[in-house]
Copies of this chain bind each other. A is one copy, B any other.
Amino acid sequence: MSLLVVGSVALDSVQTPFGSTADALGGSAVFFAVAGCLLHPVQMVGVVGHDYPIDRLERMARRGIDLAGVERVRGESFRWKGKYSYDLQNRETLETRLGVFAEFQPRIPAQFRDARYVFLGNIDPELQLGVLDQIRAPELVACDTMNYWIQSRRDVLLRLLRRVQVLMVNDAEARQLSGDWNIYRAARWILGHGPRYVVVKQGEYGAVLVGANGVFYVPAFPLEQVFDPTGAGDAFAGGFMGHVARTGDLSSDNLRRAMVVGSAMGSFAVERFSVDRFDTLSAEELGERVRSFGELVRFDIQPYAVEPV
Residues of A near any B CB (own CB < 8 A): 37-41, 64, 86-87, 181-185, 188, 202, 204-206, 208, 210, 214-219, 222-226, 246, 253, 256-257, 259-261, 283, 286-287, 290-291, 293-309
Given known contacts A291-B304, A298-B256, A303-B287, is B309 in contact with A224 (CB within 8 Å)? Answer: no
The one of B210, B222, B246 that contacts A208, using a Cβ cutoff of 8 Å: B222
Please list 10 pairs of residues, one from A and one from B, whose beta carbons are closer than 8 Å in the complex, sorted by A's number: A64-B309, A182-B224, A183-B204, A205-B205, A208-B219, A260-B301, A286-B306, A287-B303, A287-B306, A290-B304
Given known contacts A87-B181, A309-B39, is B296 in contact with A217 (CB within 8 Å)? Answer: yes
Given known contacts A41-B309, A206-B205, is B181 in contact with A300 (CB within 8 Å)? Answer: no
Q: Are A297 and B64 neighbours in the complex by a CB distance under 8 Å?
A: no
Q: Are A185 and B224 neighbours in the complex by a CB distance under 8 Å?
A: yes
Point out the residues of chain B lying under 8 angstroms from A256, CB to CB: 298-299
Q: Are B299 and A214 neighbours in the complex by a CB distance under 8 Å?
A: no
Q: How far is the CB of A90 from chain B (nearest CB, A)?
A: 12
Q: Are A299 and B216 neighbours in the complex by a CB distance under 8 Å?
A: yes
A181's nearest neighbour on chain B, judged by CB, is B87
Q: Are B299 and A291 neighbours in the complex by a CB distance under 8 Å?
A: no
Q: Are A299 and B253 neighbours in the complex by a CB distance under 8 Å?
A: yes
A188's nearest neighbour on chain B, judged by CB, is B224
Q: Are A301 and B290 neighbours in the complex by a CB distance under 8 Å?
A: yes
A285's nearest neighbour on chain B, judged by CB, is B306
